[in-house]
Structure 1
Amino acid sequence: MSGQAVAFRAGLERGRIEFRQSATSVQEVWGALFFPVVALAVMYMLSGGTVPGADFSLGSQAVPGILAMNIVLNGMVSVAMTLTTEREDGTLLRAKATPNGMTGYLVGKVLGRAGITVAGLLVPLVAAAFLFDGLELGAVSSWATLAWVLALGLLAALPIGAILGSLFSSPQGMGVVMLPMMGLTVISGVFYPVTALPEWLQWIAQAFPLYWLGLGLRSAMLPDAVAAAEIGDSWRHLETAGVLGAWAVAGLVVAPAVLRRMARRESGSSVAARIEKAVQRTV
């Protein structure tokens, strides 16, 4: 068996262990559920409003977008935060010292985080099914669409998280990412139809995976009549698959190269310097 195959198998086992640890950690579970719980509660209180151009609850229309945002937070942002933390404490350096260790590390991290992200989607989805009227979750086609959109969305988001995590040497640097992320949330149709925004903002939103992930989840969970509030009055499945697929391919090509470049620069002295800085921040 080749070294890469051994590393991949080790990554699978690492991913299983990390998912189990996350799923049994109260802090991890609450972190995965906090945003959708708060957002769904807010939208439930606003469920009396209707979607422009369609006689449908605005609260129910926002549910898929909230779940899409939670996928991005639990997937992309969490991977980036974990990567910077484990770079700072020397975990990445130990992985680098193992033959093909970075491959196993990346596979384990992606699979473990994908598992907790899926769990963070399904739990609030079950609650939303009871709280919000109009969600269409009884058809096999709805779950089939949900499955392929979720798979492509994870493949698009998780490598981006690995790339972002490679760019910062400490978790504090990730604060630079959060402000643009909040801005992207506003223009991506998470809480309100994107067609209500100026056309130039619509084009910006469509350049990023969050909009397409939300659109795909809306197509799986909402009646076809609600598509009247979308760009082109359509769910645009082909475009959704194309854009998410393009981001996934680009991320899967770029992320390993960026991680290898980052790992080459890791050394015992650099880790020691970061640990010293971290200790100074806590004093």
Structure 2
Amino acid sequence: MNPATTALRAGWSRGLIELRHSFTNGPELFSHFLWPGLMVVAMFFLRDLSFGSSGLLLGTLALPSILGMNAAAGMISMSQQLTADREDGTLLRAKATPHGMPAYLIGKVISVAGGLLADLVIFLVPGLLLVEGLAIGPGSWPTLAWVLALGLVATLPIGAVLGSAFASARAQGLLQLPFLAVIGISGIFYPITSLPEWLQWIAQVFPIYWMGLGMRSALLPDSAAAIEIGESWRHLETAGVLGVWAVLGLLVAPVVLRRMARGESGSNVAARRERALRRVG
């Protein structure tokens, strides 16, 4: 059988098993509901607040933005899972299996992307009941689909690169503060046009802003574009920036992952376990 076909089939099977396990394991099931639940609480407090004299409610603006933010958070999930698998030896076992690394990566993409889609639905259903003013029509779903698909391709490989940079899951906490800082300037909970222009330029470098903008273009009325940069949804720019991140990630991730996999050995895994046990003790 063709090696690529073998890796694809093995990765697909592995991804589905991991995804199913995440919804039958208590702690992981709780994590699926925790973050969407917190976002629903945030929506509850924003639902009746208005943005200036625009006539738009912050809850209406925030709901699609949070969808984009949560999808971008797959980058962090990918990074954390890859680092954890590296620390406990799962990655080393995959490396020792024929076509194991491609199958491992395919499976991880499937499990992380599937979990993200489930989390988005968990947030979206109660969110739609809380907020008013959305403009969901036949054209909403194709736009939402291409923004989500391109956004995942743009962020998940970058998450794999970040996961390769950390030898310990404990060090993953270093990613949280920069990620939260980018969220804060990306117009997720408040329109980006209310920020200083230099912060707007910084936010537009990262995929989080563009994923939020794309989701807003899918779910908000056309009149809401008046509070965006350039008073436009900027679909071409959204596709362009996310496309650049996707190409960058797809070029860099395989190189970094191969280099990281070559450096994995039983002695390295044992040393990391010993350090982890010393921290616990």
- The residue number in structure 1 matching 2:248 is 250
TM-score, normalised on structure 1? 0.96
- The residue number in structure 1 matching 2:41 is 41
Q: How does 1:219-234 map to 2 (within 5 A)?
A: 219-234=217-232
**CA pair 26-235 structure 1, distance change in 2 beyond 3 A:** farther
Show CA shifts across 1:25-64 (max 9, x none): 3422331332232223223223222124521111111111
- The gaps in structure 1 that reach 5 residues or longer are none
Two-structure CA RMSD over aligned residues (Å): 1.3
- The residue number in structure 2 matching 1:206 is 204
> C-alpha separation between the residues in 1 aligned to 2:196 and 2:228?
13
Q: How does 1:96-245 map to 2 (within 5 A)?
A: 96-137=95-136, 139-245=137-243
- The residue number in structure 2 matching 1:85 is 84
2:19 is equivalent to residue 19 of structure 1: yes
Partner letter of residue 58 of structure 2?
L
Show CA shifts across 1:79-129 (max 9, x none): 111111110111111111112211000000001110010111112111111
- The gaps in structure 2 that reach 5 residues or longer are none
- The residue number in structure 1 matching 2:50 is 50
For the residue of structure 2 that corresponds to 1:127, the secondary structure is: helix
Q: Does the CA-based 8 Å contact 2:72-2:207 persist in structure 1?
A: no
> C-alpha separation between the residues in 2 aligned to 1:94 and 1:280?
24
For the residue of structure 1 that corresponds to 2:139, the secondary structure is: helix
TM-score, normalised on structure 2? 0.96
Q: Does the CA-based 8 Å contact 2:67-2:120 persist in structure 1?
A: yes
For the residue of structure 2 that corresponds to 1:140, the secondary structure is: coil
Partner letter of residue 120 of structure 1?
D
Number of residues of Structure 1 aligned to a counterpart in Structure 2? 281
Q: Does the CA-based 8 Å contact 1:53-1:228 persist in structure 2?
A: no
Q: Does the CA-based 8 Å contact 1:88-1:274 persist in structure 2?
A: yes
> C-alpha separation between the residues in 2 aligned to 1:37 and 1:156?
26
> C-alpha separation between the residues in 2 aligned to 1:38 and 1:156?
25
**CA pair 118-29 structure 1, distance change in 2 beyond 3 A:** same
For the residue of structure 2 that corresponds to 1:266, the secondary structure is: coil
Q: Does the CA-based 8 Å contact 1:51-1:229 persist in structure 2?
A: no
Partner letter of residue 233 of structure 2?
W
Partner letter of residue 267 of structure 2?
S
Q: Does the CA-based 8 Å contact 1:16-1:108 persist in structure 2?
A: yes
Partner letter of residue 136 of structure 1?
A
**CA pair 33-136 structure 1, distance change in 2 beyond 3 A:** farther
